[in-house]
Structure 1
Amino acid sequence: TIEDNIFENNYFGIYIQRGYKCLIQNNKITSTRAKSQEGSGDGIHAWVSQEIWIKNNYISGHKDGIYLEKVINSYIYHNNSVKNLRYGLHFMFANDNVYVNNTFDNNNAGVAVMYSNNVGMVGNRFVNNWGDGSYGLLLKDISFSKIKHNIFESNTVAIFLDGATKIDFYKNDFENNGWGMKINANCMENRVINNNFINNTFDVSTNGTMVMNDFKKNYWDKYEGYDLNKDGTGDVKFHPLSLYSYLVEKNPSVMLLFKTFIVDLLDKTEKI
């Protein structure tokens, strides 16, 4: 157990190698010296470990707030990971883990889950992760996972999917982001159900011509259809992927036309 400690200006705050049934809780792990990713380690770093419990920690100023590589059956709960130089939380080859009720605020990017399976992500806040290439949540080659009841607010890209398959996105809130979801063409069999998309510049974007994913019963604030039978579901299908968002994905300089008459005309023409 590592509990109720203060770690200041260390290269690595806590480093665990081949750990088993470790508890890390109620620690404050901060650094004001790190100026670059190359010159800093992680706040909490675990490698080839299992059943690691990371609870109620505050982590700031490191490369990654929490980094897990080849870690299984672990639980990350109620941590605050803020103002880190790369990711608030970073998984690599880490299966069967859960993170719940954490806050990832103002990191270079919120959370990256890479080359992992069966990850549960529930009730977290991904906020204020802004900048070129910044994401609230990056999913790279991940499958069989659940993302539920999370808040994605004020991120450049709320969720970016690359090689992600068979993931359930359920009852998440996407608000005031540049992009709600960016889904690469190599992502398939994902389900996006009962989520709210509010005041995002683009709700959904892709780099391909075919989206092999399922969108159902979501709320879209850009919807302009009607509901004649008042059952709470629009009678005209909504298409969240606009032609303009596709053009921006292919040629970012087209973003210069945002909120111009040309784009308004393009949007209206699509709906005819």
Structure 2
Amino acid sequence: MLLFAALLAVQGPLVVAPDGPYRSIAAAVAAAPDGGTVRVTAGVWRGPLLQLDRPVTLVGDAGAILDGEGSHEIVLVRAPYVTLRGLTFRNTGRSYHEDRAAVHVDSAASCLIEHNRFDDTFFAIYLAQTEGCVVRRNVVTGRPSTETATGNAIHSWGSRNLTIEDNQVSGHRDGIYLEFTRHAAVRRNVSEQNFRYGLHFMYSDSSAYEGNTFRQNGSGVAVMYSHVVRMASNRFLANRGATAYGLLLKEIADVTLIGNDFTGNTTGLLADGAERLEASGNRFTGNGWAVRLLASTSGGRFTDNHFAGNSFDVAVNARTVDAEFVGNWWDAYRGWDLDHDGTGDVPHHPVRLFALLVERAPAALMLQRALFIRVLDAAERVVPALTPAQVVDRAPRVSRSRGSE
């Protein structure tokens, strides 16, 4: 094996250039040994679909552009240990009967797609039934005018042990989409200004999402029908619209939210059918609704979170909601701390009476700043009678929580 690697090093990369030695990428790939490297020089390279059926590294010089001529996929990977690096993929054209992608990886293991640019592609990277692939440090930019005119920037179906990190994606239907994908690590990506979701995953268990930024997406981030999900140190920013939220948790179980930032969203967090939700050290600031809990949610626990500048800190759609709040910091808290232990001496009821009215009659929202609404809320704080008795923080922090740091 060492001798084989040494021979490859001596041989060096096969160079694709207008004046040779190889004048097409396909010809160089056909001549390359297993594990060999093909170097694509600067220029616009057009041609039919490039199929990679054995291990090879395809690396581009600055300015190496692979063009789909507005009519087809560009690269199809069907072999393990394929690397694509330093290339620009563009102009696949649109398709309404196939999931056309610039790079399509089908039933392959250990692929590496890094340091590439994708410009005006339908799907940029499409992974189907892959194992152990890594997608990192790519820039993906879409230019459609409508949601139906584009696919997803990074799309995974039926894959395992997937790593998606340090990518910048924008202008697609969903920035990152995972379905039936297990053991994924999604880290430090920036997904913004996508038509639907910055991140959207369904039936994708045992995965972690850390240090990502999801900004100004049509509907925010959606997590559906999944189990054992960890989301830490992510930023959900300025996702606004009538049905927009920073994060939707729908029909999921065993989810942990730690140290995330929900700022400037119509709704920061919406939980619908979430079971065993642990939220700790998160920051909810400047949202319309910071947290909305539907009655279908059970086993929720919120500790050491920071709530400030939200129109509604917590909203529910029923008087009975299975959720516990302990040790959070609320800018709306009007209690005291006579023993100076950092914890309020009286409980805090975060659900405003007006929030219950709005849940039942959304049009009432126009009365939010009316004087009599403030009087109603003040009366409810003094003698809580209509707001849910279970949704109460019995140990609110007076000093700011760690989620505010």
> What TM-score, normalized by structure 2, do the two folds share?
0.66
SS at match of 2:242: coil
2: distance between equivalents of 1:105 and 1:183? 22
Identity %: 40
The AA in structure 2 aligned to 1:41 is: G
Structure-to-structure mapping, 1:1-272, within 5 angstroms: 1-32=112-143, 34-272=144-382
Aligned-pair Cα RMSD in Å: 0.7
SS at match of 1:230: coil
List per-residue Cα deviations over 1:108-163 (Å, max 9, x = no partner).
Answer: 12210000000110000000101110000000001111000000000000000100
1: distance between equivalents of 2:140 and 2:378? 51
What runs of 5+ residues in structure 2 fail to find an aligned partner? 1-111, 383-405
The AA in structure 2 aligned to 1:133 is: T
The AA in structure 1 aligned to 2:311 is: T
The AA in structure 1 aligned to 2:330 is: W
The AA in structure 1 aligned to 2:303 is: I
The AA in structure 2 aligned to 1:7 is: F
2: distance between equivalents of 1:239 and 1:84? 36
2: distance between equivalents of 1:268 and 1:140? 33
TM-fit CA distance, 1:256: 1.2
List per-residue Cα deviations over 1:178-214 (Å, max 9, x = no partner).
Answer: 0000100111111111000001000000111112111
2: distance between equivalents of 1:81 and 1:255? 31
1: distance between equivalents of 2:274 and 2:377? 29
SS at match of 2:224: strand
List per-residue Cα deviations over 1:30-70 (Å, max 9, x = no partner).
Answer: 111x2222221000000000011001100000000000000
TM-fit CA distance, 1:22: 0.2
List per-residue Cα deviations over 1:206-236 (Å, max 9, x = no partner).
Answer: 1111121111000010000111101111111
TM-fit CA distance, 1:268: 1.5
Contact 2:349–2:381 under 8 Å retained in 1: no
SS at match of 2:121: coil
Q: Which runs of 4+ in 1 moved over 3 A?
A: none
2: distance between equivalents of 1:17 and 1:268? 55
* Aligned residue pairs, count: 271
The AA in structure 2 aligned to 1:261 is: L
Q: Which has the larger radius of gyration?
A: 2
> What TM-score, normalized by structure 1, do the two folds share?
0.98
SS at match of 2:230: strand
2: distance between equivalents of 1:258 and 1:48? 46
Using CA pairs under 8 Å that are at least 6 residues apart, name the structure with larger relative contact order, 1 or 2. 1
1: distance between equivalents of 2:330 and 2:175? 33
1: distance between equivalents of 2:323 and 2:231? 19
Q: Pick the structure with more strand per residue.
A: 1
Contact 2:290–2:312 under 8 Å retained in 1: yes
SS at match of 2:201: strand
